[in-house]
Amino acid sequence: MSVILGIDIGGSGIKGAPVDTATGKLLEERHRIPTPEGAHPDAVKDVVAELAKHFGTTGPIGVTFPGIVQHGRTLSAANVDKDWIGLDADALFTKATGQDVYLINDADAAGLAEARFGAGAGVDGVVLVLTFGTGIGSALIHNGVLVPNTELGHLWLRDKEAEGWASDRARERDDLNWKQWSKRVSTYLQHLELLFSPDLFIIGGGVSKKADKWQDHIKLERSKLVPAKLLNEAGIVGAAMLAQESQNDSGEKKPVASKAAPKAESKAGKKK
């Protein structure tokens, strides 16, 4: 059994738990600490270190971030402090915890976990996981393999950014009932259907536990849609899965897409 601490950084709470990465089960109760006001990197780093101390696990830690994560750096900050942009967040958390940290986008983590252990388990083909909350997160998975950082919440639709128009926050802000909100979501999903032809849409985020209110109102042309199953555990589980899969047999960091910079091909070695 491989036990890895997963930590999920969200807009209102930072949550963690040790995960059995073979089964996707949490081995202890989730511990949640409110996200510090403004979600500045220094304050968030202290909470991540506190969670690591709380559980006392040794070994690698998987951490999610609600923005683009590439080569260990955080590259966007739609709903958190702008100081995250361009930051080597991997180094920040590694120093703060004294353990190897693996960073992943929050929706990508949720997507990996749903595809392996949740609503997408056993589904072949293209699975598109979308999380509806403050923003809209996306994870594109083909036969279990993730294409990271798709950021489909920032797709422009009718002169608007999708997440500003169809997120759960937009539903609350515009005082929409579930049917009205589902109409916006259907427009958005139909566009994604045209672009990606997913075999399955999985709808996660806070709205997944209220599926009875919206599911029947969603209209799609040809794809199946189901609510996420892992609810608020998906990010934690996916973060731990990434950390597990990013090590080699001796527990060292493997160069993976979201971690290591691609090697530039040397001109000298290039065959004509």
Least distance to ligand BGC, CB of residue 89, Å: 13
Which residues pair with residue 161 across a beta bridge? 156
**DSSP-H helix ranges across the chain:** 41-55, 89-97, 106-117, 162-166, 168-173, 178-196, 211-214, 234-245
**Closer residue to ligand BGC, CB minimum distance, 137 or 238:** 137
Burial environment of residue 98 by CB neighbours within 10 A (0 to 12, 13 to 18, 19 or more): exposed
**Closer residue to ligand BGC, CB minimum distance, 57 or 241:** 241
Least distance to ligand BGC, CB of residue 104, Å: 10
Residues making contact with ligand BGC (CB under 6 A): 66-68, 76, 78-79, 105-107, 131, 135, 137, 151, 153, 163
**Closer residue to ligand BGC, CB minimum distance, 44 or 57:** 44
- What amino acid occupies position 35? T
In angstroms and rounded to an integer, the radius of gyration of the C-alpha atoms of the chain is 18
**Closer residue to ligand BGC, CB minimum distance, 57 or 163:** 163
**Closer residue to ligand BGC, CB minimum distance, 60 or 135:** 135
Least distance to ligand BGC, CB of residue 137, Å: 3
Least distance to ligand BGC, CB of residue 156, Å: 14
**DSSP-H helix ranges across 62-103:** 89-97
Least distance to ligand BGC, CB of residue 77, Å: 8
50 within 8 A of 237, measured Cβ to Cβ: no
